[in-house]
A and B are shown apart, each in its own frame.
Chain A
C-alpha cells in the first residue's frame, strides 16, 4: 500500500507549522461562530460577558449552560472520532475502514439504547460502560470477518462492515420502538447529535479524552510498526499483534465514549484521517495531532451548519457529516480500483 500511496511526502517544517496555525485559527473561528450563532440572537458583548462568567442574565445563562458545553462537546467528540478513525485505518491497514463503516459506532449505539430501555434511570457512566460493551461487540464481529484478511480485500471488508452496521442500527430502531421514544431521540440514537450536550457530558468525556490522548502519544513509536508490512515489522522485533490490539482497544475507548454522549455520528471518522494525511503526509508525530485538530474543526463547523439547515429546528449533526462524507466515501471507493489496477 505504501509504495502506491497517493499522499504527498512529509512537508517542510515551516509548512507544517503554518498548517497547524491555520487549523488552530479555523478551530477558534468555528468555536466563536458556534457560540455566537444559533436559534437565539446574542450580542458580542453578552457573549464576552458570558464566556468570562461576568453576567447572570438569562442570555448569559443560555450561553453558559447550553452553547458553551455543546461546542466543547462537539470539539472533543470530533477529536475522539477522528483519532478512532485514524487508528482503525492503521490497525486494519484499510483506507476504507472507520469505526462507523465497521459497525463499532452502531454497536455502541445499540448497547446504549438497550441499556436505556432495560435499566431504569441509567447514569451517564453506566451508559458509557454500555457503549464500551457494544463497541467491543461491533469490533469483535468485524475482527471475525477480517480473520483471513488478505491484501486487496479492502472493499469487500468494508461491505461486510456496512452489513454489520445496517444490522445493528436496525436492532437499535427496534429497541427504540420497545421504549416508544419520540422521533427526536430516535434520530439522536440513529444519526448522532450534539444538541443536548451539557456540562455533565463534558465531564464524562474528558477522562477518556485525557487517557486516550496520553496512551496514544505514548504508543506513537509502536504504531509506526502498523504502517509496515507485518513480516517486516516482525523482523524488526515488533510485536505486531500486541500493538494492533492496543490500537483496537483505543478505538473502542475513544469511539465508545463519543457515541455514549453524542450518538453514532458517521463518516467524520472516515474522512478526517484522509484529509490530514493528504495535507501533512504519513509521519505519525505530525499526523496524529493534525487529525485530532481537524476532527474538532470539522465537527464544530458541521454542528454550526446543522443548526441552520432546518432553521429554526435543530438537525442532528450526523445528517451533515453524512452529506459531506458520503461523496468523499464514493471518491475513496472509486480510487481503490485505480490503485488495484
Chain B
C-alpha cells in the first residue's frame, strides 16, 4: 500500500512540476491560459508553450527517466551503491562521442547522435571493466576509477570546445548538461529509445531482484548470470547514451534518484524502477525550474542545479555508508 502511495505521490508531483514548468519563465503564463494554449492554436501564449516549453518538459522528463533507471540498473548489477552513469564516467564518455559528432560532423543526420553517444558509453564501460579487473574492485575504489575515467573524457570534451569555439550555452550543454534550446527535434530523437528501453528494463525486474542474491545465489536459482548482467548493462547504457545525446552529461540524477526511491519503497525492483524514474524526472524538472527562475531572463543550466542538489546528498550518502561500515 505504502509503495502505491509513494508512486502515486511522485506521479502527482510530476504533474504539478510539469505544469509549473509550462507556466514560469521569462514570459509567465497564468494557469487559466495554460489549458487554452495547449488546446487552442491561436491563444496568445500558445506559441511559447507549444514550441518551447512543452518539448522542453518532455525532454526533461524522458532524460530524467532514462538516467534514473540507468542508475538503478547499474547500482543493482554492479552491486555498488555509489555507482551511477555519471560517477563511473559513462555519461562523460557518451558526451565525448556526442560532442565529436556535433563539432566534427555538423552535417550528420540526427539519428547518428544517439548512436554515437551509445558507442561512447559502451567504450567508457569497456575501459572501466578492463581497469577494474572485471568489476571486482571494492565499491569506492571502483567509483574512484570511474571518476578518473570521466575526468579524462571531460578533458577530451573541453579540448573539442576549445578547438571549435562556440557560445557559452553550447559549451555548458556539453560540460554540465542543459535543457537550453531543446525542442521537438530532441523529443523525436529521445522518445523511441526511452519508449522501447524503459518497458524492457521494467520487464527485467525479476532478474534484477535475483541478482541481489549474489552471483552464486543467482546461478543456483537458474539465472545465466554473465548473460543477464551483460543484457541489463546494455539497457542501462542505451538509456544513458540516448539521454546524454539529448541533454548533455547531467550529473547526480542517476545517483540520487535510485537512493531516494530505495528509501521509500525498498529494494524490490518492480516498485523501485518506476518510482526512481518518476523521481528522476521530478528532480530534472525542479532543477530546470530553479535554473529558469533564478535569474530571469538568463538561465542556469539544469546540470548545475542538479549538482547543487545532488552533491550534498552524495556526501551524506558517503557518511552513512561509512557509519554502516564502522
**Chain A: residues with CB nearer than 8 A to chain B?**
96, 145, 150, 153, 155-156, 158-160, 162-164, 166-167, 170-171, 173-174, 176-178, 180-184, 186-187, 190-191, 266-267, 309-310, 313-316, 318-320, 322-323, 325-327, 329-330, 333-334, 336-337
Q: Which residues of B contact A (CB under 8 A)?
A: 82, 131-132, 137-138, 140-141, 143-145, 147-149, 151-152, 154-156, 158-159, 161-163, 165-168, 171-172, 175-176, 251-252, 295, 298-301, 303-304, 307-308, 311-312, 314-315, 318-319, 321-322, 326
Looking at the complex, which one of B148, B151, B295, B307 makes contact with A167 (CB distance below 8 Å)?
Answer: B307
Contact among B148, B161, B172 with A333 in the assembled complex (CB-CB below 8 Å): B148
Total inter-chain residue pairs, C-beta < 8 Å: 143
Which secondary structure dominates where chain B touches chain A? helix
Residue from B137, B166, B175 having most chain A Cβ neighbours under 10 A: B175
A155 touches B141 (CB 8 A): yes
Task: Judge whether A170 and B140 touch: CB under 8 Å.
Answer: no
Interface CB pairs A-B, < 8 A, 16: A155-B144, A156-B318, A159-B82, A164-B311, A171-B304, A177-B298, A310-B163, A322-B152, A323-B155, A326-B148, A326-B152, A327-B148, A329-B148, A330-B131, A334-B137, A337-B138
Taking A162-B147, A183-B165, A329-B151 as known contacts, 18 extra A-B pairs with beta carbons closer than 8 A to each other, sorted by chain A number, are: A153-B322, A159-B140, A163-B314, A166-B251, A166-B311, A173-B304, A178-B295, A186-B171, A187-B161, A191-B158, A266-B151, A315-B159, A315-B162, A315-B163, A318-B158, A326-B149, A327-B152, A330-B131
| With A153-B322, A159-B318, A166-B307: A313-B148 Cβ-Cβ less than 8 Å | no
Main secondary structure of the interface of A (DSSP, over half): helix
CB distance from B155 to the nearest CB of A (A): 4
- Taking a contact as CB atoms closer than 8 A, the residue among B143, B145, B304 that contacts A174 in the complex is B304
Q: Is the CB of B311 within 8 A of A170?
A: yes
> How long is the Cα–Cα vector from A320 to B154 in the complex, in angstroms?
11
Given A162-B147, A174-B300, A330-B145, also A182-B155 (CB < 8 A): no
Complex Cα distance, B132 from A197, in Å, reads: 40
What 7 A-B pairs come out closest when comparing CB atoms?
A: A167-B311, A170-B307, A326-B152, A322-B155, A333-B144, A310-B163, A329-B148
CB distance from A333 to the nearest CB of B (A): 4
Contact A170 B176 (CB under 8 A): yes
Q: A177-B298, A186-B171 are in contact. Are A333 and B145 (CB under 8 A)?
A: yes
In the complex with contacts A183-B161, A334-B131, A177-B303 CB distance below 8 A: no
CB of B140 within 8 A of CB of A156, answer yes
Q: How far is the CA of A318 from the CA of B157 in the complex (A)?
A: 13
Given contacts A159-B140, A159-B318, A326-B148, contact A316 B300 (CB under 8 A): no
Tell me which residues across on chain B come within 8 A of A316, comparing CB atoms: 158, 162
Nearest CB in chain B: distance from A227 CB, A: 24
C-alpha spacing A318/B253, complex, angstroms: 27
- Interfacial chain B residues near A163, Cβ < 8 Å: 311, 314-315, 318
A residues less than 8 Å from B252 (CB atoms): 166
Docked CA distance A178–B307 (Å): 17
A181 to B167, CA, bound (A): 10
Q: Are B308 and A171 in contact (CB under 8 A)?
A: yes
